[in-house]
Structure 1
């Protein structure tokens, strides 16, 4: 009679252990059904599920494994698995998989406990937890830290919308970003990434900077803030703000452009996206004059933004059509996907304002970056704790080897 046995080996890791242990299994026509190995701080955890043809072979084989483990100063433990339990495990292979990603400056036990409790509460089973972020020195400043855990779960949540709402509430409470994605082919096969510019790629709203130079800073900033929160129609608010800039001397543009700072993580993100073969684009309700400067700094492929009309060295205050508003951004995302021969599931969109929501909802991965609560809650995913390169973690990218 056959025996199905789970063999667990633990102990101090060193080269050659896997070969030595699997070498024992060469006898008796053993079939390997599953295998997993992890090393944490020099400690090996090795599991192997085997199908052994009959009891006599099983007894001799397990004695040999025990002897080899003792010889290598390792601990071996055996767990018999019934054919019924094994068949249930096989049948579960077709279950849906999801990825829960925790991003923070520093992951705490409270964050992980609360997230894992919600995963269980909504009928999901954790299969794997892996750290994607690099090892951190004990004395590293927390504000400069990067911590990311990727949790692979099996099953379908009993109430997906309620689970997302719970994750959102927990994110705000615990200071951690929690992403929840389907673990499918597209997650690692995206090839186009589009970005808002102001307060996403750069740490400023350019129209507010122009307004300061024109002496109408407070008026324009108030309108911008309301538009970002979704309280005002973008097109109407854009035209209103543009009118307030009438007469601004074009000479201030270079000065403002030179003062613009890239967002934390932007350079790293674009370097990696380029290395991975992505096409990138700016889809901005800001101005092409400044977007082209950002394009040059980050090596971006496409730029679509608003034109700043200037006559006789002065800004006219007229909004030049077509205005890149919420719908225009969504349309441009679709056009670029078609141009590059991609499905929308293969695209990424990142932005911070209400006018970014249509493109965020269309993209395979839509990320609200350091956004207002309404935008964060409405987007598929949100990052507020880390820099822009936190997007890489949502693709399964690992710090230790720079690969997805």
Structure 2
């Protein structure tokens, strides 16, 4: 549509011409808005925005929008629990490799055994709750160690029990107890080999994050003690300094870790193909498979098979397992009887 001029036969002064042209433009705009292109209402705009976001998230992380949103809730909850994005600042003498990070599981990867069990028993010793209330947690851990797998029902039930334990409790009190439990009962359980791996990443200027189903306060204390960048964990909602008994995001178990790591990568600007992940459990394959370098640490039998099939590196720091692989069960049993026999002779 060409712009008319006074020479096109429109009578009157230049002011009349401008008024006429403005009116015609206004009429055209109203026609387009009201008839040809009606305005987009708020719900339609929201749906269009969500569709665009879902497409971007699917392309970047192969996740549904709902899963990514859950991950964002977990990450923001972790930041809020820590009081900042990172629990430790990077070494100023080390040039940082922006976009690169390492993600470490906690149980049997960073520490020997189950952190939640050590945590629960530590709280029971402090009479935070009764020993009888801890027994279901102990039973689930025993069942997991015997069967080598966790089922969704156990995870969901354990989550609900944990939330009920802390409902109405003071956050500062729990954090203080966590710090004491880490210092007195967890420090000696750290796998030296895993800690060296984490320190190698830090020395290369990489971020190092713990990603665990354990309570986020406990994971962040571990991260703070060992100089890691931060920690993502299961986040219990807090209001006015007390736990509400509700969950923020999802429990960081299995796919939950993948959702949280994807959200963290978006927030921190991480390039996942340049990142590494470490775990002992087949449940963490969703997280392991989203990074460029996956390493199985002290793997369960299912993860060992998966790692061998995918060509992932395997590191086993368990001395008994290493001894069995090196010398075989018969030789070790024979050596054990020899030692016992020698002790019996010395006592005779």
The TM tier, using the shorter chain, reads 0.3 to 0.5
TM-score, scaled relative to structure 2: 0.48
TM-score, scaled relative to structure 1: 0.42
Where is the helix percentage greater, Structure 1 or Structure 2?
Answer: 2
Which structure's relative contact order is higher, taking Cα pairs within 8 Å and 6+ residues apart? Answer: 2
Where is the strand percentage greater, Structure 1 or Structure 2?
Answer: 1
